[in-house]
Amino acid sequence: MLRLRKLLLAALAAVTAGCVGPMAAPEPMRSIEYRNPDGPARCLFVFLPGMGDRAEAFEKAGFIDELRSRKLSADIRAADATFGYYMRGTFLDRLSADVIAPAKTRGYHEIWIAGPSMGGFGSLFYTHAHTPDIAGVLAIAPFLGDKDVIEDVAKAGGLKSWQAPPPAMPMTRDNYQREMWRWLQAVTQRREPAPPIYLGYGRSDKLAPADDLLRAELPTSHVFLTDGIHEWGAWRRVLRSFLDSPEFAGHCRAEPRSTG
């Protein structure tokens, strides 16, 4: 796994060379909306893409079909939250202003946020910063930090035993990864508020050693493991298992239509 700092430097070089696509970070953040075909929806699902993917990837990979096939009362918005936003430090502000804030004005009962890989990290990262906005998080094979950070947590005997640093105020490129682990420790121990966090990934995923550390602190009903590696097939199976789980059964259901 490439270290995030190396990726940041590579991305910066690409942007300054005029590269667009996954490294672009226009304002406002673009997103694709998939409206509930049966009228006003109770819920909104916000999908965040992984490294190198764009908002269109979720429809191509079948994520939109998975939600639609269950007849949920849900709108879907696939955000084009490319790596450029993370690199420039504008991810939180743009997602809030361009995607979440407009959604809140529509009066959704629940806003769920989910994504694979970098999008899984982004889902947790946004929830850390804007906890009241989010009803639940599905982090799919999330990137959770560089090798040295993961090794620190593992050598301590896991997240529960890890000696977390003080809260990082403000977060910077040097401290955000440990701050995220500090927050995950605090919320899994119920010392800080957070919406329910759900986690899923392939057993052979390259990020599994890091994700295993978070899995150990979550209720087993919040974890969705599947066969596979770091790829869309495994990620779709995770989404499918989550949507069909008893944990999600009470959420985003369509109201029965009146026959009177």
Interval 113-136: pLDDT, tens: 999 999 999 999 999 999 999 999
Dihedral angle computed from the Cα positions of residues 241, 239, 211 and 133, in that order, rounded to the nearest 10 degrees: -120
- Tell me the C-alpha distance between 112 and 174, whole Å: 29
> Which segments in the chain show pLDDT lower than 70?
1-22, 256-260
Residue 256, pLDDT score? 57
Residue 3, pLDDT score? 46
pTM of the entire structure? 0.90
| Residue extents of the structural domains in the chain | 4-243
Do residues 188 and 216 touch, judged by C-beta distance below 8 A?
no
Do residues 81 and 87 touch, judged by C-beta distance below 8 A?
no
In what side-by-side order are the strands of the sheet with 110-116? 31-34, 74-79, 43-47, 110-116, 136-140, 197-202, 223-226
For domain 4-243, the CATH superfamily is Alpha/Beta hydrolase fold, catalytic domain (3.40.50.1820)
Residue 24, pLDDT score? 83
Residue 255, pLDDT score? 72
